[in-house]
Amino acid sequence: MEHTAPLPQWTMYAILAVQGIVYTGAVYKLGRARGATAGAFLSGGRDIGHGMINASIVATWIWAATLMVSSYTGYQWGFVGPWWYALGATVPLPIMAYMGRHIKTLMPKATSYPEFVRFRTDKKNHLLHSIITIIVCFWVTLMIITGGGVMGVSFTGAPFWAIALIMVVIFVSYVSLAGLWASIFADTIMSLVMYACLMIIVWTVVIKIGPSTIYDGLVQVMQDKPYLATDMPIEAARYQWDPLNWLNARGLGFLIVNTIGNLGAVLCNQTYWSRVTGARDPQIVFRSFMTAAFCWWPIPFATATALGVTGLSMQLQVGEMYYWGEHGMMFTESAAVAPMAAFLVLGFLGLALFVIAVGGATISTGAGEIMAVVTVIINDIYKGYINPDAKDKQLLLQSRIWLYIVAAVLLAIVIWWRMIGFTFGGMYEAMGIAFSSAVIPLIMMVFWSKTNYSGVFWGTIIGALCGIYYWVVVTGFDMLWGVVWGNVIVMGVSAIIAIPWTLAKPQPFDYSTLKDAGFEYESVEEMLVIGESDESEEK
């Protein structure tokens, strides 16, 4: 069956290019001075207010997964899918509000959360969390590039590698100018654009199709028991035939996977801690994360209901050819049901709006994640161990060099993963097994003054190994229930090791010692004074 894309390839390139030009031009015009020193480049100046921090958190937490995987849950498990996706992914934000405020109060000079871990515990935990957060940021970026690429290929027929390359180039184009501030500033713009696009899509579906028609369609699914996705095992399809049940078993299993995975994806992700660093004070951190939870929750819930549940009620067959006018399209992945439904219901308007929203989500989140990786590499590894006495110009140069290195590595991995067939949905559900064993140990370090250093270290490592062993060896990468129990094992084992170890052998710590702790950077004022001194000596 020939795939006739509804849009020409150049449209995908044009949408991405326009966004890249707008962001880069705006940052160059308004904020390039924010990258004058290494400290400012990595910390955003530590003076950003509530509005930008809030918008940045919302935009950063809107991945391609927020729009596509959430809709996939509605397509796969019916009306509970959007509820469980939105709930599981919202839970980490209020927790982050308390943790971020606490660390901002205890250690205001911290540039990264691994830096807090180093001064709170020891070097082995610092290195472990530096590695974990780099893995988290890489994993998230791989998912969002893959999601954006899947959408672009489906609608324009553009090569996956070309879409991925353009996205990565845009990531580094404006971040290299002003670092963290550039990422937060672009997020602020993108959050407004995404809200506008998604509101038009959702309300058009509600008005044009209506809740009663969607409900009748779900009843028909229960009666017909259609086999809608060729890439879905029959065991999984049985849960798709139960779309009106609050107790849909696999839907509840996904709630567990989603909650555990997203706890790791937020609490162990330097991208969100960078927003803590950039905020003006602890109260702004708290208000921004709390309000972001309420601003973000409706986005996946409404999108997944309008597109995913509607797609199921229409009994859209993944892998079949659909037509709108004379334009045809064929989808080969269940995760692409959202753009398919948007195109069929709204035509080219829905297509354009969805492409803009996902493209923007990919760019804003991807830029923040790459910046977070560079922050940890420069702040925690390079300055922490390799060259503690590095001067500001050297740190700034290294930051920009590593932006390009990280971008190139990410591009290579995402293309390789695509070649071996690692699916978008698979990446999302497996992420908790990869790094959520660090969640409970990190919470213990932040709030429990008697936390045992070895307990949290080995709890994190052994928890991850047990979960990975169960999922890979015992279940053979089972994506139905193996991934659910793998997530439970990861978090459960880490808690079983770290908490009793601390109770048996407490290691008291005085949090007041963190007030002036942290790696030292030259401020903008210091750089100006040094520059004036040099000029005087020359004269």
| DSSP states of 176-231 | HHHTHHHHHHHHHHHHHHHHHHHHHHHHHHHHHT-HHHHHHHHHHHHHH----BTT
Given the DSSP bridges, would you call strands 327-330 and 321-324 parallel, antiparallel or unpaired? antiparallel
Distance CA 89, CA 91 (A): 6
Cα(168)–Cα(172) distance, integer angstroms: 7
In CATH, the architecture of 9-431 is: Up-down Bundle (1.20)
| Of residues 356, 418, 387, 341, the one with CA closest to residue 165 | 418
Look at residues 442, 53, 126 and name the one whose alpha carbon lies nearest to residue 284: 53
- What is the C-alpha to C-alpha distance for residues 46 and 353, in angstroms, rounded to an integer? 34
Residue 146's pLDDT is: 83
Q: H or E stretch including 351?
A: helix 348-375
Mean pLDDT by 10 residues, the chain (539 residues): 66 87 86 82 91 92 82 91 94 96 95 96 96 91 82 80 91 88 89 90 92 94 87 81 91 91 92 95 96 93 94 84 60 73 85 85 87 95 92 91 93 85 67 88 96 97 95 87 91 96 97 92 52 45
In the chain, how many H helices and how many E strands? Answer: 25, 2
Neighbours of 324 (CB within 10 A): 16
Q: In the structure encoding, which two tokens stand for residue 373, read together? A: 């990786």
| Cβ atoms 37, 392 nearer than 8 A | yes
Residue that the structure tokens 């803009």 belong to: 356
> Quick count: other Cβ atoms within 10 Å of Cβ 284?
24
> What one-character DSSP code corresponds to residue 158?
-
pLDDT tens column, 448-487: 999 999 999 999 999 999 999 999 999 988 878 888 999 9
Give Cα separations from 523 to 45, 274, 349, 445 (angstroms).
Answer: 9, 18, 48, 29
Alpha helix locations (H) across 225-347? 234-240, 249-267, 270-278, 282-296, 298-303, 310-313, 337-346
Show the tokens assigned to 316. Answer: 């859209």
Closest CA to 429 of 72, 138, 154: 72
Per DSSP, 6 falls in state: S
Query: Who's near 162: CB < 8 A, 6+ residues apart?
Result: 13
Q: Distance (Å, rounded) from C-alpha 294 to C-alpha 289?
A: 9
Domain boundaries, the chain: 9-431
**How many Cβ atoms from other residues are within 10 Å of residue 286's Cβ?**
23
Structure confidence at residue 113 (pLDDT): 96
Please list, residue by residue across 343-369, b when 16 or more beta carbons sit within 10 angstroms of its beta carbon and e when fewer do. Answer: bbbbeeebbbbbbbbbbbbbbbbbbbb
Which pLDDT score is estimated for 536? 47
How far apart are the two ends of the chain, measured CA to CA in Å? 77
Torsion of CA 226, 232, 238, 241, to 10 degrees: -40
d(CA 32, CA 175): 10
180 with 379: CB under 8 angstroms?
no
- For helices 424-435 and 482-504, give the axis angle rounded to 10 degrees: 20
What 3-state class would DSSP assign to 330? strand
Q: How far apart are CA 174 and CA 21, in angstroms?
A: 9
pLDDT of res. 329: 61
Which DSSP letter does residue 377 get? I
**What pLDDT, on the 0 to 100 scale, is given for residue 68?**
84
Name the 3-class secondary structure at 323.
strand
Determine the Cα–Cα distance for residues 75 and 82; give it in Å rounded to an integer. Answer: 9
Give the burial string for 199-232 (b: 16+ CB within 10 Å, else e).
Answer: eebbebbeeebeeeebeebbeebeeeeeebbeeb
106: which 2 tokens?
Answer: 């205890």
Give dist(CA 504, CA 55) in Å, integer.
Answer: 43
For Cα atoms 297, 58, 418, give the angle at the middle one, nearest 5 degrees: 95
Give the angle subtended at the CA of 312 by the CAs of 321 and 147, to the nearest 5°. Answer: 70
pLDDT for 32 equals: 78
Q: What are phi and psi of 459, to 5 degrees?
A: -60, -40
Q: What is the 8-class DSSP label of residue 428? A: H
